[in-house]
Amino acid sequence: MTIETMAATGAPLTELSEEESMFQKSVRDFAIERIRPLVHQMDHDALMNKDLIKSFFELGIMGIEVPEEFGGAGSTFFNAVLVVEELSHVDASCGVLVDVQNTLVNNAFIRWATEAQKSKYFGLLTRDTVGAYALSEAGSGSDAFALATRAEDRGDHFLISGQKLWITNAAEAGVFIVFANANPDAGYKGITAFIVERDFPGFRIGKKEDKTGIRASSTCELIFEECPVPKENVLGDPGRGYKIAIETLNEGRIGIGAQMIGVARGALEHAVAYAKERRQFGKTIADFQGVQFQIAQAATELEAARLMVYNAARLKDAGKPFLREAAMAKLFSSQICERVTSMAVEIFGGNGYSKEYPVEKFWRDSKIGKIYEGTSNMQLATIAKTILTDRL
């Protein structure tokens, strides 16, 4: 059933078609069979398994919305959201690697790249090359346009100098979308997006962060020392980087919402299974009303968050305004994820605080949801602005 058919028949936009359900199940089975056995070691080593990344490409989930003519699946944003959720319910690090590839990098190319850029870079991004999205800097977090990285026009190329921080996928990526100011006098209107390849001279990967959660997902600094970037590698129009950043992140927030509902779901599944097995006072702890109520509350909140994420994704696919809904979905799903994973740790008792059991990792992975791709306060500011100005 297409989005248009669902709308015409009055069917809820969150309903999954048969094709979507089959696709979701295939990714779920893959996550359980291929990813789950590797999760503990990847988290311990803070390193993504290379063979696993290769399998993401083989499965076709690294180019979900990319048109078939460029090597992609030619599918929907909603299916990308399903993938992120299913991967994250087993491992949030895998979820965010695939999320950044699809909702940020590929989406930016789909919307703003020239045909020549699409032909060249989608050939890589759908086959074997991980992408990264480089916006954040030491002094440019929530204030995303306070960029210190500069791009100097040298005629047939730009020279980029500066430093980026907190860049997801940096250790694995071969293609980077980098934001730099090519005209500081114009303020944020001087910001331009560039396509940078890993082996460009003057560009190197710096320090890798040692994080609390999503440890297998690489988060690194990028260092540019007069890195030459050809003019043909400008993504979109010069000086329009701010528009690319804003609009791409609006879509990316739905992906983070999907990651959070996946993490919460994974933790809740483990908590329910444990509650049915753990015995105290002659019966399972699932028989105690106090535990039952906690699980019921968590399941209810998780379902509400899932509906918000799915609805935002459907709106995006339908070409309808989704700014407010994306902000709400990310805000709420990250809040619910933190609560549900914390509850799961408590259901496990002392075992929940041990790395021998899975729920403490879900708890650690949950915290980042309130921070990256727009903090919770930034989401609240966006929601308030759209309400008070009646602007979607």
Question: What is the CATH number that goes with domain 243-388?
Answer: 1.20.140.10
Q: Which of 262, 345, 276 is nearest to 24 (CA)?
A: 262
Question: What is the CATH number that goes with domain 3-130?
Answer: 1.10.540.10
Cβ atoms of 326 and 250 closer than 8 Å: yes
CATH fold match for the domains 3-130 and 132-240: no
Q: What is the mean pLDDT of residues 71-78?
A: 97
pLDDT score of 239 more than 60: yes
Global pTM value: 0.94
E runs forming strands in 256-311: 279-280, 283-284
Distance from CA of residue 191 to its chain's centroid?
23
How is residue 188 annotated by DSSP?
Answer: G
pLDDT score of 8 more than 70: no
What is the per-residue pLDDT for 208?
Answer: 98
The one catalytic residue among 172, 301, 360, 373: 373
What is the per-residue pLDDT for 146?
Answer: 87
Residue 391 Rama label (left phi>0; alpha psi -120 to 50; beta)? beta
Distance CA 193, CA 149 (A): 11
Question: What is the CATH number that goes with domain 132-240?
Answer: 2.40.110.10
Cα torsion 319, 320, 321, 325: sign: negative
pLDDT confidence band for 141 (50 / 70 / 90)? confident
- Whose structure tokens read 């709400």? 328
Sequence spans of domains, the chain:
3-130, 132-240, 243-388
Neighbouring CB atoms inside 10 A of 41's CB total 11
Does the annotation mark 232 as catalytic? no
Q: Which of 69, 173, 160 is nearest to 129 (CA)?
A: 173
The share of the chain scoring above pLDDT 70, in percent, equals 96
pLDDT confidence band for 10 (50 / 70 / 90)? very low
Task: Give exposure, 227-260, as e/b (b: 16+ Cβ within 10 Å).
Answer: bebeeebbbbebbbbbbbbeebbbbbbbbbbbbb
Q: What is the mean pLDDT of residues 205-233?
A: 98
pLDDT confidence band for 14 (50 / 70 / 90)? low
pLDDT confidence band for 391 (50 / 70 / 90)? low
pLDDT score of 6 more than 70: no
What is the per-residue pLDDT for 9?
Answer: 32
Q: What is the 3-state secondary structure (H, E, C) of 86-134?
A: HHHCCCHHHHHHHHHHHHHHHHHHHHHCCHHHHHHHHHHHCCCCEEEEE
